Chains A and B, each alone.
Chain A
Amino acid sequence: AQSVTQLGSHVSVSEGALVLLRCNYSSSVPPYLFWYVQYPNQGLQLLLKYTSAATLVKGINGFEAEFKKSETSFHLTKPSAHMSDAAEYFCAVSKGGTSYGKLTFGQGTILTVHP
């Protein structure tokens, strides 16, 4: 069975500050990991994904994440927060192969950005 834990249901940062959203996973098989962003009343948009290639993954809007197998983590970072980054962020894991769309999601982290 797979599971995802996002540490911190709410994270608040100042504009221009570092954004760090934490995600830890458990998986019995090599995982495929995703970060999605959800803006208010919108669907989910893919930020970035790890599918067993480079462990440091760069995504859209300046976000990146590093897959650390030894720590079973896939934390999301952005060097400088922008007001437009305010949204809810979801970490998700799948088994890959024919199961890429069968995602197990974390609980979500709401990011607030203060001026």
Chain B
Amino acid sequence: NAGVTQTPKFQVLKTGQSMTLQCAQDMNHNSMYWYRQDPGMGLRLIYYSASEGTTDKGEVPNGYNVSRLNKREFSLRLESAAPSQTSVYFCASLGQGVTEAFFGQGTRLTVV
């Protein structure tokens, strides 16, 4: 049982490049989330998907897009990376009737 799996674990991008962060969960959870973690700021919600086929903005959505590909997978796309997007990105999932979110191991992204 892998839980929440994120790929890649590390990535370096040049300013203006695009990339997609992948997230998959094998717990049959309905809801999935993308957070970013920056020093001294905790984690902030970027986008979430309450169920398959729906996505909504969180606290810091600018510069990002998401796709809920199916119930298992929720991807985060940076169309034109900026240095301000250097961060650690966490995916999380939540099942119906469950009260706590489960987190992946994170993707450490550096934009130079």
Contacts and interface: CB of A to CB of B under 8 A. Distances in A.
Interface of B: 4, 31-33, 35, 40-45, 48, 50, 58, 90, 92-94, 98-101, 103-106
A44 B100 contact: no
A106 B99 contact: no
Nearest to B4: A43
A108 interface: yes
B31 A101 contact: yes
Interface residues of A, number: 26
A22 to B, nearest CB: 14
Contact of B106 (A4, A43, A45, A104): A43
B106 A90 contact: no
Contacts of A42: 105-106
Given A9-B40, A102-B48, A49 B100 contact: yes
Contacts of A84: none
Nearest to A48: B100
B104 A90 contact: no
A51 interface: yes
Contact of A100 (B35, B41, B98, B104): B98
Nearest to B94: A101
Contacts of B90: 43-44
A102 B47 CA distance: 9
A101 B33 contact: yes
Interface in A47-62: 49, 51
B40 A107 contact: yes
Given A32-B99, A42-B105, A100 B94 contact: yes
Contact of B42 (A34, A43, A105): A105
Interface in A94-112: 96, 98, 100-108
B101 A101 contact: yes
A66 B15 CA distance: 46
A102 B56 CA distance: 11
Given A105-B42, A107-B41, A107-B42, A100 B105 contact: no
Given A42-B105, A44-B90, A103 B43 contact: yes
